Structures are given as structure tokens and as C-alpha cells.
Amino acid sequence: MFDKSLHILLLACLLLCAPSLRAEQPPLSFGVFPNLSARQVVEIYRPLARALEKSLKREVVIYSARDFRTFAQRTARGEYDILLTAPHLAWLARQDAGYRPLLKYATPTHGLLVVHKDSALLTPEALRGKTLARADALAVTVLAIQSDLAARGLRAGIDYQLRDAGTHNNAVMQVINKRTDAAALGLHPYLLLAPDLRARLRVLIESPPVSSLMYLTHPRLRDSEARAIRKAMLAFAASAEGQTFMKRGGYGGYAAVDGRELRAFRPYALEVQNLLQEAP
């Protein structure tokens, strides 16, 4: 005679193992630094999100923010499971919410100071008395350009006036449409511009290289989950679609990153921390 207790045990096992009845895991939130428009963020990072979904068997939802300040505040609250952010904000993410470094883009980035190709400005010093568009005061590439200008004796808000454009693309369009004299932006957003737009710009200065955007994971994800995400990202980078993604942005693939590297960005991070404490 079939043992009743064994029957109940087998039935319970079948119910637990049946995929249709198993409780689904909540989606992973993927927070992407808003250096591009929301439409561009989704367009560019959707292939990576799809690859993560396929590998992890879990939905991945892309999030950004309307501006850098909002993104940094959401990061501090730990709203993102997977985080892609600038290195100085990665330092803050680790300090404020315990985020753990995962990978970074291998190719360093640079801050660029660009003018319209027909501009009469030939040197950075000629920016005195002019206007400079920037994505946001918190962007590390913008901070790098402003530092370079300061070293040349040009003080922001005194020797030249700043206009916050919200994104790198918006800053560039201010120059192309001749509404400002120059713009500060990052190398990767510059490379993502349409070729006809880049052809209408001229680069005046390029800052020394700084580490590119970094991926981190929130501490609520287990170590095994973080390792699975890292493995899936590396597999994506090796795929044909991933290589197209890397080439388009000039990212050069993924490279290892650890907490020690973040320490170099502490001065920029503290400057941003002070800006975040000010009224917007």
C-alpha cells in the first residue's frame, strides 16, 4: 500500500519544483548614470539588459533619472540593484550605501572642451568673458575641464559663465546651435554623437585620462548573484552584439575594478558631496 506521508511529500516537492507555480523573483533594477537622455539610455543599454535577463533568468528593468543630483540621491538610498555610474559617484555609492565594485569600462575617459567648428575661439584662454555649457556640475569630466581651465587662470562664474544643460548631448547642441560659446562633455558621449554632429565641432582641450563608468552591485545581492551578473556581463562583451555595443561607445570592453581604485576619486567625490548638500 502506498504510504500516505510519502505521497504528501512527493506532491509538495512537485509543487515547489514546478516553474509555473514557483514564486517569481522580483526584477533587478539597473540604474544607469544620466549622462545621456532617457531615450538614449534605454536604447543603448537594452541589449545588455536582455543578455542579463537571458543568463540570470530574471527580469532586468533599466532606470535613470532626470538629472545627476536625483540619480545620486537615489543611489544613496540604495534604489538600484545594479549600478552604472561615474567613478567619483561610485566612491559615494560605496560610502553611502555599501555598493560593491564589479567591473568598469576598460578605456579611460577624458573631459573635452569643444566649440563650433566655425568659432573664432582658438585657445582655452579665449573663453574669458564667454559662456560654457555643461551637462551638470556633478559630472567628473566637467569637473576635469573646469580644473584645467582653473589652472589656466579661468574661474568658473567669474571669468566665464556656466549654463547647465542637463545632459552632454544638450550641452553639445547648445554649441552647434550657437547659443553658447563652448561646451564641456565626456569622451564617450562625444563618440556616441552622430558623425554629422561631431563634424560640426572642434576640440580645444582634452583633460588627462580618468577611469570610465563603473558597474557596482548593491549589498542586498548575495555574492553568488554578483558573480553571476559579472559572468553574464563578460559573456555579453565577448558576443557579437556586445562587441558592437563596446565599439559604438568606445568602451574597450570590461576591466576589473576594486575599492582601492576608487580612493583616487575621493577629492572629486567630496566636492560633489558638498554640491549635493546645497539647495538645488
Residue 16 has pLDDT above 60, yes or no: no
Quick: pLDDT tens for 35-52. Answer: 888 888 999 999 999 999
Count CB-CB contacts under 10 A for residue 105.
Answer: 23
**CATH class of the domain comprising 27-108+211-277:** alpha beta
| Cβ neighbours around 115 below 10 Å, total | 23
At residue 12, the pLDDT reads 39
Decide: helix, strand or coil at residue 60: strand
- For 119: left if phi > 0, alpha if psi spans -120 to 50, otherwise beta; the answer is beta
User: In this structure, what C-alpha cell is assigned to residue 16?
Assistant: 515547489
**Beta-strand relationship, 161-164 and 214-217:** unpaired
Condensed to tens digits (0 to 9), the pLDDT of residues 178-206 reads 999 999 998 888 988 999 999 999 999 99
Q: Hey, what's the cell of 34? A: 544620466
pLDDT of 24 reads 74
Closest CA to 231 of 247, 215, 245: 215
Q: What is the pTM of this model?
A: 0.77
pLDDT at residue 280, rounded to an integer: 60
- pLDDT for 17 equals 43
CATH code for residues 112-206:
3.40.190.10
Q: What is the pLDDT of residue 272?
A: 80
Contact 71, 33 (CB under 8 A): yes
| pLDDT score of 210 more than 50 | yes
Helix residue spans in the chain (DSSP H): 4-17, 38-56, 68-76, 87-97, 140-151, 168-176, 187-191, 195-198, 223-238, 240-249, 259-262, 266-277
3-class DSSP assignment, residue 156: strand
Note whether 212 and 96 are within 8 A (CB): no
Dist CA 28 CA 230 (whole Å): 14
Within the chain, all domains assigned CATH 3.40.190.10 are found at: 27-108+211-277, 112-206
Mean pLDDT, residues 232-239: 97
If you compute the radius of gyration of the chain from its CA atoms, what whole number of angstroms results?
22
